[in-house]
Amino acid sequence: MVGTGYNRWVGTSEQLPAVMHGMRMPEVKTTETQRLLRAWFGKMTLLPSYQRMLKQMDFGVHANTTAQYVQQGYQSDHQLLGCAPGRHLVASADAACSYKECIRKDGATAPSEGCSVVCNRGHSTDPADCSKSCLCTASSHSATSCWMLCVKDLDTCAKTQQSCSGQTRVCS
């Protein structure tokens, strides 16, 4: 899992947000005063640098290798982030995308994450949720995919000077 714990553990200038996922809670009928909630809790333990890992390396070596991998722009084959075999962590900030300006339809209930998120993201249920609740127009503004969300590029600096910080663009 990549997110706050990773950012504190690796300690680089790269900010890697927790990747959104497509889990949907089962839909059940509720009254106006009821809500269906999902909760998760857990504990992440920062191991001491001398602690041995299953791969026969200590945690300090693992932390240093991971930090170097991120700082080298993911150019190393020594990626140790725990991805499943054959999968690689990529920032997804390379792809241009088509941003949609969206507002809630009159009389419709806005998606819980808002029209601008649901209509500019690619989860399996997003297209149906977007068309059901939102009115969108294609924007001519340039945009980039930051961690699976299409966001507008900034007007305050050149596109080559921009990077993703979480799910927003920032001037570097």
- Residue pLDDT, tens place only, 150-167: 999 999 999 989 988 878
Same domain, yes or no: 100 and 140:
yes
How high is the pLDDT of residue 87?
A: 47
29 assigned to some structural domain: no
Q: Which residue has the tokens 């299953």?
A: 54
25 assigned to some structural domain: no
User: How far, in Å, CA of 114 to CA of 138, rounded?
Assistant: 17
Same domain, yes or no: 165 and 111:
yes
126 assigned to some structural domain: yes
CA-nearest of 137, 142, 146 to 154 is 142
Same domain, yes or no: 133 and 156:
yes
Beta bridge partners of 152: 143
Which pair of tokens denotes residue 150?
């299409």
* Cβ neighbours for 88, distance < 8 A, ≥ 6 positions apart: 74, 79
On the question of pLDDT at 61 being above 60, the answer is yes
Q: Is 42 exposed, middle or buried (0-12, 13-18, 19+ CB in 10 A)?
A: exposed
120-151 pLDDT per residue, tens: 988 888 999 999 999 999 999 999 988 788 99
Same domain, yes or no: 78 and 139:
no
Same domain, yes or no: 4 and 50:
yes
For 47, the 3-state DSSP assignment is: coil
27 assigned to some structural domain: no
Which pair of tokens denotes residue 100?
């949609």
32 assigned to some structural domain: no
12 assigned to some structural domain: yes
How high is the pLDDT of residue 68?
A: 73
CB 59 within 8 A of CB 49: yes
> Of 55, 85, 115, at which residue does a domain stop?
85
User: How far, in Å, CA of 146 to CA of 97, rounded?
Assistant: 10
pTM, 2 dp: 0.50
> Of 66, 85, 104, at which residue does a domain stop?
85
Same domain, yes or no: 124 and 147:
yes
Domain, as residue range, for 106:
96-171
Same domain, yes or no: 8 and 78:
yes
Which pair of tokens denotes residue 143?
């945009």
On the question of pLDDT at 81 being above 90, the answer is no
Same domain, yes or no: 14 and 79:
yes
For the four alpha carbons of 59, 64, 67 and 69, in that order, the dihedral sign comes to negative
Number of domains in the chain: 2
More confident residue, 90 or 30: 30
Please count the other Cβ atoms lying within 10 Å of the Cβ belonging to residue 128. Answer: 10
How high is the pLDDT of residue 93?
A: 44
Cα angle 13-95-164, degrees, rounded to a multiple of 5: 25
